[in-house]
Amino acid sequence: MSIRNLVPAGLFLLTALGACGVPAQPDPPPGRAATLSPDVIPYDQVEFRTNRRPVIRPGQECLDIDAQLAARLGLSGDDAYRRPSQQVNGGCSFPDEDQTVVAGATQPFGEFWRANVKDQGVPGSMYTGLASFQRKILDGRYYAVEYVGGDYPEPYADQCALVVDVGSVNPLVVQIGPYRGTNDLDAVRRTRCARAEQLALQVLAARDPGGGSRVG
């Protein structure tokens, strides 16, 4: 994926808040994940932990998502054409209807949070335009960033990528959506982004039970 450094106009308000004092983040209880506050969402200069092992290892994605997990995710089949493939540029690609890619990113999560995404930042992407950028918290425990973009010179709503902070130098990435000629941002969020979030939560439940962005 290549999401370039295209920052939507709506992000300038978030950038302006970057210089202000960032609200304190909760300390996690020993051996447990902290419940995250949405108060930090508007701020750029949030500090993210990198002391945990990746949930999905870059370059090893198809090994980490084994056949059993792929079946639980609804991403596998019996015939050879339904088997996942490890991509040269990173990510495990599934030949499902949505052309799902699950990856371990090689950039720290903070760069995604600030929308400063280099071409190689999200493995497997087709993005050259960024139609939407949204920060969020998943399951009360994980910081995440949702991108909607497409393979066009101008921002275009076509594919959705969700990048999740797992407390590691390698965030989790789930991308949904091949080119289908759509430019309906709301529809992409309702379908592809919702599916990306569902898959991310399933991967986290299987590979990171009890985990989060800030774990004691």
Q: Which domains, ranges and CATH numbers included, belong to the chain?
A: 11-19+49-207 (3.40.1000)
User: Can you tell me the mean pLDDT for 32-58?
Assistant: 94
| Of the candidates 194, 153, 154, 150, the residue with the CA atom closest to the CA atom of residue 174 | 194
Lowest mean pLDDT among 4-18, 145-159, 201-215: 4-18
* Residue 150 near residue 129, CB atoms below 8 Å: yes
The Cα–Cα gap between 3 and 200 comes to 19
Percent of the chain with pLDDT over 90: 44
Q: How far apart are the first and last CA of the chain?
A: 32
Asked if the model's pLDDT at residue 191 lies above 70, the reply is yes
pLDDT tens per residue across span 56-109? 999 999 999 988 898 888 887 555 556 788 988 789 998 888 889 999 999 899
| φ/ψ (deg, to 5) at 64 | -70, -35
Q: What is the DSSP secondary structure assignment for residue 200, as one 8-state letter?
A: H
